[in-house]
Structure 1
Amino acid sequence: MYIQLLPASAAAFAPRASVNVVLGSKVEPWLTQTLKRINRVNRPLNSVPQHHKCLTETLSSPNAIWTLASLMLPKTPESDFKRDANNPLVEASMNYDFVHVEAYVVHVDMVLRNEVTYKLTKDTVEALVDFHKKVYCVDAKANTYDWTDKERQCKKLHDDFIQDINKFVFSTHVSALEGLEEGGAGELLCGKSEEVTNEIKALMKPLLLSPSPCGQGARSYVHCPPSTSVSGEQTCLQADVAAVDSETNSFDPQIRCIGQHNRKSTTSTHHNEQFAFWSLPGGMSYGVPL
């Protein structure tokens, strides 16, 4: 793992600035050919400084916007979908739309990492934030059961996404600059768009129960009379499952017996102990000594 050194313009919420370009003592032939191809005016490219100036000016142009990927996202929450059972293609066109993920270059490193780094444009960030708020979060709330601080947790989910999408940068091999077009724009080649799509989707996290031990996480225990018989243990287990199910209301917990530990000793004061655990929403466990 390495520490990626990026200019201040790559930070979250930072405005666009001139591209930071770092070239080596020798320029690769493909870069020279690319710069000659995209420039209408024949600029001298006989030295490293000339390449540096040409590449910096080209990528810093306001029109130098790259298309990293295209996402097909729902226009509305699922509950508002328009249905057409006879024509699935028409139904898809009515309910989904393409969001083009556009970005600009903030850093070119052809010395240490041989990487080019992109940052999302303001319009792309706003489009993704709007989708996350009006569609993704609405569906997430509709598809999960209710709990005490669900609204607060959903708001936190959206706030975290705003931070993450503004911090998002995508780095790939510097050979991606071979996709440069006139004016400094371009598209990612060689399947890199799929990587961008997967990384952005990974920022859209599921709505989960707060892991806080207080509040909704607290559960009451059912006390059973001491019993060493198998029937007594089963009665306690069934009573406790009913109590947990009545508290969660809409959630049917999945019972998982983690195991038994038998304590054996030469003295008569030790006895066997059993523990039953339930898997609850949010990754929490609920245990009852039997």
Structure 2
Amino acid sequence: MPPQLLPASAAAFAPRASSVNVVLGSKVEPWLTQTLKRTSQIKRPLNSVPQHQRCLIETLSSTNAIWNLTSIMLPKAPDSELRKDSNPLTEAFSNFQLVHIEAYIVHVDMVLQNDIAFKLTPDSIEALIDYHEGIHCVDIAASTYNWLEKELQVKKLHEEFIQAINKFVYRTNAIALEGLEADRAGELLHGKSEEVKNKIMNLFHPLLPPLQRS
């Protein structure tokens, strides 16, 4: 079955919608009822599908409903500027930072695909774009020889990354909603954060110079 189309709020550069698109089936899974009862700030009856749907929409549409998808250890500066130290621990603390990648839910489908879709927050997108431009592009340029269109190629890679990270949507099984917390924030469980990290890091492409003629 092909993936279901996502709402307009999932598109690249689209702002966050005021309401999350939630589609539930004719029967609600017990784990979802338990999750909503555990995290709902207002005690309410959850005896029907519409009641679950309203509660879930309200919870996920809150501005506080920001999920920590993963955390990525990234260098603070280009390789040529990193501090060298005889103590590996000191060197690591000086040169690397843990960047938390946050997102919000744009879509819940528990009928066709039984999945949910996350879109990165503007702050996370901006942090990754800044890293790509100021560190990743500098490093890949420094590690390759010079050729006529090298600077244009680096610029093109960065522009492609901007598009890709803004288009990035992470889809996973709806059971991930179990990661909801009482403050309406959430965290991915079952090792899914590693999957997100790998998908994001795969967007950082190498610079491929033309083959040198002998």
TM-score, normalized by length of structure 1? 0.72
Counterparts of 2:76 and 2:39 in 1: how far apart (Å)?
37
| SS of match in other structure, 1:113 | coil
CA contact (8 A) 1:61 1:183 kept: no
C-alpha distance in 2 between matches for 1:166 and 1:116: 18
Question: Does the 8 Å CA contact 2:70/2:193 hold for their aligned counterparts?
Answer: yes
| SS in structure 1 at match of 2:183 | helix
1:196-275 to structure 2, matched below 5 A, reads: 196-209=196-209, 244-245=213-214
5 Å-filtered alignment, 1:1-290, equals 2-17=2-17, 18-85=19-86, 87-209=87-209, 244-245=213-214
- CA distance in structure 2 between the partners assigned to 1:117 and 1:185 by the alignment: 15
Structure 1 SS opposite 2:14: coil
8 A contact 1:19–1:106 mirrored in 2: yes
Structure 1 unmatched runs, 5+ = 211-216, 220-243, 246-290
Q: CA deviation at 1:41?
A: 2.4
- Report the secondary structure of 1:184's partner residue: coil
Unaligned residue ranges in structure 2 (runs of 5+): none
Q: CA RMSD in A?
A: 1.3
Partner amino acid for 2:72? L
C-alpha displacement of 1:183: 2.9
Conservation of the 8 A alpha-carbon contact between 2:3 and 2:113: no
Letter matched to residue 27 of structure 1: V
Please say if residues 68 and 196 of structure 1, whose CA atoms lie closer than 8 Å, have aligned partners that are also in contact. yes
Which whole-Å deviations, capped at 9, do the CAs of 1:47-69 have from their partners, x for residues lacking one? Answer: 11111000000000000000000
Aligned residue for 1:98, secondary structure, equals strand
Tell me which amino acid in the other structure corresponds to 1:72: M
Letter in structure 1 aligned against 2:185: A
* Counterpart Cα distance in 1 of 2:92 and 2:29: 46
Moved over 6 A (4+): none
Deviation sequence 1:168-226 (CA, Å, 0-9, x none): 0000000000110013211000110110011001100011136xxxxxx7x9xxxxxxx
**Distance in 1 between residues matched to 2:113 and 2:91, nearest whole Å:** 46
Q: Distance in 2 between matches of 1:81 and 1:209?
A: 25
Q: CA deviation at 1:111?
A: 0.1
> What SS does the corresponding residue of 1:24 show, helix, strand or coil?
coil
- Identify the residue that residue 271 of structure 1 maps to in structure 2: none
SS in 1 for 2:22: strand
Structure 2 distance, partners of 1:88, 1:209, is 33
Larger relative contact order (C-alpha < 8 A, sep ≥ 6)?
Answer: 2
Partner residue, 1:264? none
- The residue number in structure 2 matching 1:230 is none
Overall identity of the aligned pairs, in %: 65
